[in-house]
Amino acid sequence: MTELQQTPLNATHRSLNARMVDFGGWDMPVNYGSQIDEHRAVRTDAGMFDVSHMRVVDFTGDRARAFFEYALANNVGKLQTPGRALYSCMLNSNGGVIDDLIVYRFADDNFRTVVNAGTAEKDIAWFGQLNAEGGFGLTITPRRDLAIVAVQGPNARDKVWQVAPSTRSATELLKPFNAAKIENTPFGELMVARTGYTGEDGFEIVIPATEVCAFWDALQRQGVRPAGLGARDTLRLEAGMNLYGQDMDEDVSPLDAGLAWTVDLNSPRDFVGREKLEADGMQQAFVGLILHKDNGKAAGVLRAHQKVVTPQGEGEITSGTFSPTMQESIAFARVPVGVKPGDIVQVQIRDKALPASVVKLPFVRNGKVLAG
């Protein structure tokens, strides 16, 4: 049996009596007792997640911008100021999603990406292949010396500033999808990004692996609640955020995964997968579902791979859960083009066909219910 990989916070999670699970080959906390309480802490106050299993990769070289213009479906030409970030899919030649990632530009010759844990080695190999084939001449450096902590919630930023006051002046005016590097903090050099995977405000903080345990402990003393993979999943689903491997993969176009907004087909640049996307267009719609209640009670729980029956044909749920915020069963589904918000569809749950409403995503953002 292959030994599970561990983040630098592994012993800390275990000291907090976290329930640990195998998450794509990593030993990760699913919760620390109550997934519901962790979810609500993020929606109402502040919670923190160990996301150090994700991989930071640095890129340096004169043609770094040109490399990302070719490698990504979104356009890094939008990144004009230092620290500006962009969410994008990285596609194969068939238009399928190799990975979704965030790229940060600090200068035209200095970029950083954060890629998913389960695809990290594949991504790094793909970066290397594109770099060599295109003659970009970049130095590509996977950073195994860094950890990442996501601090999320309406009070998250204030609590980070209490723990690391020297970060405040550099990040107080930071707009969403921007980052700053701060050298003189009690925890060494930090990259503080105003990004997240919960639908709430907050920071994702890249920190030296040697300092992350002290940082985590300091945040906990300020009342930031540790949260695990369970709350991370319900939060991201409420927020309408895709999960790689469930809502898209190498066989799914971003146009069929509700990610058309991340694909720039307006600029004249060439990028990997563009030709296939333009030839095929959108083949399926990506929508939200809310299961109808039966006498005021949940009739079931929407889960991945359940069949969705519509007047236009069949579809399938890609992610589903019971929403702690809405107290409803919610899901993402890939359905035939023509299905739209306001429609009623039938979801096959065990031996029953149960009605669900089609809604526009997201379900919840910044603590407010937007769908339903």
Query: How confident is the model over 233-273, as pLDDT tens digits?
Result: 999 999 999 999 999 999 999 999 999 999 999 999 999 99
Query: Of 1.10.3720.10, 3.40.50.2300, 2.40.30.110, 3.30.1390.10, which CATH number belongs to 283-372?
Result: 2.40.30.110
Residue 372 pLDDT > 80, yes or no? Answer: no
Amino acid found at 356: A
Rounded distance, CA 277 to CA 253, Å? 7
- CATH 3.30.1360.120 boundaries in the chain: 10-53+145-237
Q: What share of the chain is helix, strand, coil (3-state, %, to 5)?
A: 25, 35, 40
- 333-368 tens-digit pLDDT: 999 999 999 999 999 999 999 999 999 999 999 999
Note the pLDDT tens digit of each residue in 67-122: 999 999 999 999 999 999 999 999 999 999 999 999 999 999 999 999 999 999 99
Residue 303 is predicted with a pLDDT of 98
294 band by pLDDT with thresholds 50, 70 and 90: confident
Residue whose pair of structure tokens reads 């009623």 in the numeric block: 344
Please, which pLDDT band fits residue 296 given cuts at 50, 70 and 90? confident
Q: Which residues contact 133 (CB under 8 A, 6 or more apart)?
A: none
Say whether pLDDT at 39 is over 70: yes
Question: Among 7, 4, 2, 108, which residue's Cα sits nearest to residue 56?
Answer: 7
Q: Report the side by side order of strands in the sheet with 225-226.
A: 179-182, 190-193, 202-208, 146-152, 47-50, 225-226
Residues of the chain with pLDDT > 70, as a percent, come to: 100
Q: What is the average per-residue pLDDT within 215-244? A: 98
Residues of the chain with CATH 2.40.30.110: 283-372
Q: Please report the beta strands in 269-312, taking only residues with DSSP state E, as ranges in sequence order.
A: 284-291, 293-294, 297-298, 307-310
Which position has the higher pLDDT, 299 or 265?
Answer: 265
Question: What pTM was computed for the model?
Answer: 0.97
pLDDT confidence band for 1 (50 / 70 / 90): low
The string of pLDDT tens digits covering residues 18-29 is 999 999 999 999
Hey, how many other C-beta atoms are within 10 angstroms of the C-beta on 170? Answer: 17
In terms of Cα–Cα distance, which of 227, 229, 239 is closest to 42? 227
Please report the pLDDT score of residue 288 as a whole number.
Answer: 98
Residue 66 is predicted with a pLDDT of 98
B/e letters for 94-129, b = 16+ CB within 10 Å, e = fewer, are ebbbbbbbbbbbbeeeebbbbbbbbbbeebbebbee
| Average per-residue pLDDT for the chain | 97
pLDDT exceeds 70 at position 283: yes
Q: Cα–chain-centroid distance for residue 48?
A: 15
Q: 242: buried, middle or exposed (CB in 10 Å: 19+, 13-18, 0-12)? A: buried
CATH architecture of residue range(s) 10-53+145-237: 2-Layer Sandwich (3.30)
Contact 231, 39 (CB under 8 A): yes
Q: How far is CA 17 from the centre of its chain?
A: 26
Of the chain, the percentage scoring pLDDT greater than 90 comes to 96
Check: CB of residue 364 under 8 Å from CB of residue 323.
Answer: yes
Whether 153 has a pLDDT exceeding 90, the answer reads: yes
151-173 mean pLDDT: 97
